[in-house]
Structure 1
Amino acid sequence: MRNALASEALLLRRRLAPFVVGCTWIVLVVGFGFGVPYIVYATLDPAKTADRAALLEMLLPSAAHTTAVGSYPMFGGAIMLILGVLVTGAEYRWGTWPARLAQGPGRAQVVIAKVLVGAAAVVVIAAAALAASMVTSAVIASVEGRPLTWPAVSAVAASLGVAVFISVAWLSLGAALGVIFRGVGTALAVGLVWTLGLENALSGLAGVVPALEPVRVILLGPTSGSLVAALGVPSLSEGGAVGVAAYVSGPVACAVLLAYTAAGIAVATVLIRRRDIT
């Protein structure tokens, strides 16, 4: 297993995909989590003092960690799903599975190593996005003449942990889709259409059709939003991020995300072991 991890880590470092995905996510968090809201704040009618104050409060260092993690349920998860698809699906695109598996170790070890190394990349990306958010919030505070009041270390750690937890679940789903569809294109199409389209439609219908309410418990997007809401991040109706809402409790959300992670790894492993790669 150690050799598998070392080889997969080297492979991921040599590929451009994790760097592109990571940089893209950092830009999205800073741009849409802080840049766009600050532009809205700057252009709001000065007479709307309460609205401007509430919006600015979310952009200051004391709330930067919650603002950053609030981006994950709707957009961050989809970005990490893309990374997961690229981790496994790219091997089909380049035709490198046969050579990779012929050299050992076993097929199951290779798949698990890919997911673990992908999870390590997710930790780095999430930490970098959080750091960029903190720096951006400090710049905003300086421009507005506000004091640099930083959140507690435990709160920042909890925010990072939730971001990583959500991201790994989406990464595992993407890795499974890459193996199921034997490539990148179809896996990305199916994954993004389901998570960004159908899940949102089902979640919206569940709000008006009581019979569909239990469906939210097993949907990855609403579950991710529930875990973020458990941190105290405001929902969209409260002026917070899109996709954040307490549909289920924090422990239930954790259980569902763990189930997605385990199922993604299991499906990818079983298919790789049973299929003829060539």
Structure 2
Amino acid sequence: MLGSYRAELLKLRKRSAVWVLFGAGLVLSLIFGYLLPYLGYATGDDNPETTGVPRSEILHGMLPERVLDNTIGGYPIFAGALALVLGAIVIGGEYNWGTLKTVLTQRPGRGTVLGAQFLALGTMIVLWVLGIFTACMLCSVGIAAAEDGSMAWPTIGALLKGLAGGWLVLMMWCLAGAVLAVAFRNVALPIGLGVVWILGIETLLAGVVSSLLPSLKWLANLLPGTNAGSLVFAVTGMSTTDAPPGVRDAVTGTRALLTLLVYCATFAAVATWTTRHRDVT
């Protein structure tokens, strides 16, 4: 397992697509977390989009105290979609290129290879979370210094809890992409289905249930995106009025945590079982 894990890390480090996806997530976080709000703050008196919103409130959302909100607020939808693409290209690429057969002839078993890939993906997600947090932290400090804002920070415990929750959300979506890649032995179809689900279908289902079928609310509360958004809402403590798309208090934080863990375990188990019991060609 250790040798396979090192090999998978090497492959991830040298794949440009991995860093392009990370860069996309980083840029989205900075644009929606800092650039657009700062432009709204700087042009508050002349910007019709910020009419009625105190400039001090806009500034407060960019200060170090709210760094967690800006770091993981986009994880349930936008960064989650990128994580799903990551899982799909890493696992599905082995089928597209026909390299999985070659890897399996070198000695490692199917379960070992897949487990090493999951560990490598989990490690890469850690780097994603820490990288985005670092960039958001620097932006928060820069804006606070430039605008003479507060330098108060969340507690270490709150930061660790928030970053761990963000990692779990991204890892769940990454494993979703992986299990789809194993199921279809491809890259394009898992990416298409997964991204459409995250960005469209689940949001539509939640809206229909909320407005037309309230008796099925229990079903909507089982969806992965709903629980991802609820976990982010719980660990950040943001208000419903400030929450970005996909982040809401549909279920409690504890329930969301347990549900996401069940999803991760299920996706990993299904992918492992399918890989072991089906032809890889």
TM range (shorter): over 0.9
Q: Which residue matches 1:25?
A: 25
Letter in 2 for 1:104: R
Q: Distance in 1 between matches of 2:210 and 2:55?
A: 30
Letter in 2 for 1:38: Y
| TM-score, length of structure 2 as denominator length | 0.93
* Equivalent position to 1:95, from 95, 98, 101: 98
Query: Is 1:42 aligned to residue 42 of structure 2?
Result: yes
Aligned-pair RMSD on alpha carbons? 1.7
Q: Unpaired segments of 5 or more residues in structure 1? A: none
Letter in 2 for 1:5: Y
Q: Deviations over 1:138-165 (max 9, x none)?
A: 1111221224222222221111111101
Identity %: 36
Q: 1:90 to 1:153 in 2, by over 3 A?
A: same
Q: Deviations over 1:209-268 (max 9, x none)?
A: 212201222211111110011124335x41221111111111111111111111111121
Q: Which residue matches 2:120?
A: 117
C-alpha displacement of 1:168: 0.8
Q: Distance in 2 between matches of 1:30 and 1:151?
A: 19
Q: Which residue matches 2:3?
A: 3
Q: Distance in 1 between matches of 2:274 and 2:125?
A: 24
**Aligned 8 A contact 1:74 1:196 in 2:** yes
Q: Give the 4+ runs in structure 1 shifted more than 6 A.
A: none
Letter in 2 for 1:172: L
Query: Number of residues paired by the alignment?
Result: 277
Q: Which residue matches 1:126?
A: 129
| TM-score, length of structure 1 as denominator length | 0.94
Q: Which residue matches 1:12?
A: 12
**Aligned 8 A contact 1:166 1:257 in 2:** yes
Q: Distance in 2 between matches of 1:232 and 1:142?
A: 23
Q: Which residue matches 2:147?
A: 144
Match of 1:202, SS state, is helix
C-alpha displacement of 1:178: 1.0
Q: Unpaired segments of 5 or more residues in structure 2? A: none
C-alpha displacement of 1:50: 5.0
Deviates more, 1:1-10 or 1:169-178: 1-10
Q: Distance in 1 between matches of 2:118 and 2:95?
A: 16
Q: Distance in 2 between matches of 1:54 and 1:266?
A: 46
Q: Distance in 2 between matches of 1:33 and 1:101?
A: 44
* Equivalent position to 1:214, from 211, 215, 218: 218
Q: Which residue matches 2:235?
A: 231
